[in-house]
Amino acid sequence: MTKFPKPGLAPTNRRDILRGTALAGAAAFAAAIPATVAATPRRLPAPILRAPNPHVVQVQAEAIAAATPADLSGLARLRQVLVAPPFAPVHEQVATGAPKIVEIEMITEERLMVVDEDTGASVWALTYNGSVPGPLIIVHQGDYVELTLRNPVESMMEHNIDFHASTGALGGGALTHIYPGEETVLRWKATKAGCFTYHCAPGGAMIPYHVCHGMNGAIMVLPRDGLKDGAGNPLRYDSIAYIGEQDYYLPRDENGDYIQYAIAGEDYADSLDAMRTLIPTHSVFNGAVGAITGAAAMRFNVGETVLMVHNSCNMDSRPHLIGGHGDYVWETSFDVAPLTSMETWFVRGGSAVAAMYTFEQPGVYAYVNHNLIIAALLGATAHFIVDGPWDNTLMEQVVAPRAIAT
Ligand SMILES: [Cu+2]
């Protein structure tokens, strides 16, 4: 089996120089793939997405080696057990005590996932902890996130993680490259309050390849004293709905059928061709068409306040709750007053947004990307089922549908 190498085939730092086997694998991979694919990274226009300049890598390594050790001995530690979407980990809305070191663990799992049962579309998803999106992390401003990241020996590819909420070293991406069978620990301070995306960023074309195979998720950094409205009054939620919108570019054969691949990474060349169209074959919530509909719909009650955290790592999105609203929407950060009474809000590709709503009527609500082509044809639809008494003062069917009298 071919192990995927780190993009950029030349050794760029001491760690790579020591990796004779990895480089041999890189050479084998380069020889095994078509010339058109091998040439792909050279066509990428953005220098930051290429393999780092060795000099820059060296300067950064020297700066890190010369840095004063951080004394965090006085900080308490808290282990956060991450859970699969659409759910959120156990957490406090208002922080108790001083900033902590929040320990989390993530495994880079490559797994075959069905994207659409009706068409047989599937993908060798690249995931954090086996889910698309990766798990929601919740800390408070001033806390430290201490991530142990493991890449199982069975993996085909190198992975890392770039936290948009963090500061320095490509969001941690430069310090977390791990090959199959490796682990690393990264600690960073959550200085900015808001919802932020995180994603894998191995370098070059592998960045969109990994992101568009599901390797992204969100972290919510709450203010220590919790969420507030524009007047400074506290806002609290009863539950969280964590939605990750994922655009897939799944290759098809000459008959238009989705191609099935035997191992992760086998679709690399075909995927790059499909991604270059910028036209996704699917854009789904939580990994697959219908992942949060039908029996898997989320359930709430009238009077319940839900915080909808929507992550969209690659494409812009416009979430809309059909039949409801965004009572409070933090489209940018928690530093600013939330927007209020919104019909549709905006998620910039490469970010996550929180919207709060208190249900006032029972029934089935569709939570969609209000690019309705994406919602109805590409999959970006979730269902919330709300139980409780109907309020005729808010809405009443005065006349049921009937034939028009002639
Ligand atoms: Cu990855």
Domain boundaries, the chain: 12-38+237-387, 75-225
Residues with Cβ within 8 Å of 224's Cβ and at least 6 positions away in sequence, in order, are 94, 95, 99, 140, 141, 142
Three-state DSSP at 155 gives coil
pLDDT band at 54 (very low <50, low <70, confident <90, very high): confident
Provide the annotated active-site residues.
Answer: 159, 162, 164, 199-200, 210, 215, 320, 343-344, 370
- Return the pLDDT at 26: 37
CA dihedral 137, 332, 309, 288 (to 10 degrees): -100
Measured between its terminal Cα atoms, the distance across the chain in Å is 74
Q: Residue 160 Cα, ligand 1 centroid: separation in angstroms?
A: 6
Best CA proximity match to 294, nearest among 217, 362, 381: 381
CA 19 vs CA 152, 200, 310: distances in Å = 18, 21, 39
Mean pLDDT of the chain: 89
Three-state DSSP at 377 gives helix
**DSSP per position, 200-265:** ---STTHHHHHHTTT-EEEEEEE-TT-EE-TTS-EE--SEEEEEEEEEE---B-TTSPBPP-SSTT
CA 327 vs CA 271, 286, 347, 366: distances in Å = 39, 23, 16, 16
Q: Which two tokens stand for residue 172?
A: 């941690």
Q: Which two tokens stand for residue 203?
A: 């370098």
Q: Residue 204 Cα, ligand 1 centroid: separation in angstroms?
A: 12
Sole residue written with tokens 């049962």:
117
> E strand or H helix at 272, and its extent?
helix 268-275
Contact 361, 394 (CB under 8 A): yes
Helix residue spans in 10-156 (DSSP H): 14-17, 20-32, 35-38, 40-43, 54-66
Say if domain 75-225 classifies as CATH 3.40.50.300. no
Q: Residue 126 Cα, ligand 1 centroid: separation in angstroms?
A: 6
Indicate the length of the chain as a whole number: 406
Contact 314, 373 (CB under 8 A): no
- Cα separation, 327 vs 63, in Å, equals 46
- Cα separation, 144 vs 191, in Å, equals 9
pLDDT digits (tens, 9 = 90+) for 79-138: 999 999 999 999 999 999 999 999 999 999 999 999 999 999 999 999 999 999 999 999
| 12-38+237-387 fold | Immunoglobulin-like (2.60.40)
* pLDDT greater than 80 at residue 189: yes
Neighbours of 39 (CB within 10 A): 10
Per DSSP bridges, beta strands 326-330 and 351-358 are antiparallel
CA dihedral 250, 127, 314, 317 (to 10 degrees): 90
Position 56: which residue type?
V
Q: Residue 388 Cα, ligand 1 centroid: separation in angstroms?
A: 43
* pLDDT greater than 70 at residue 23: no
Best CA proximity match to 202, nearest among 162, 167, 166, 164: 162
- Return the pLDDT at 258: 97
- Return the pLDDT at 61: 84
Same fold, 12-38+237-387 and 75-225: yes
- Using the Cα atoms of residue 202, residue 204, residue 206 and residue 209 in order, give the sign of their dihedral: positive
Q: Residue 354 Cα, ligand 1 centroid: separation in angstroms?
A: 25
Q: Residue 328 Cα, ligand 1 centroid: separation in angstroms?
A: 34
Contact 293, 383 (CB under 8 A): yes
Query: Does the predicted model carry a pTM greater than 0.85?
Result: yes
- Return the pLDDT at 52: 61
- Cα separation, 77 vs 152, in Å, equals 26
pLDDT band at 43 (very low <50, low <70, confident <90, very high): very low
pLDDT digits (tens, 9 = 90+) for 204-258: 999 999 999 999 999 999 999 999 999 999 999 999 999 999 999 999 999 999 9
- Cα separation, 104 vs 101, in Å, equals 10
CA dihedral 388, 389, 395, 399 (to 10 degrees): 120
Q: Residue 242 Cα, ligand 1 centroid: separation in angstroms?
A: 21
Q: Residue 232 Cα, ligand 1 centroid: separation in angstroms?
A: 40
* pLDDT greater than 80 at residue 36: no
Phi-psi region of 14 (alpha: psi -120 to 50; beta: other; left: phi over 0): alpha
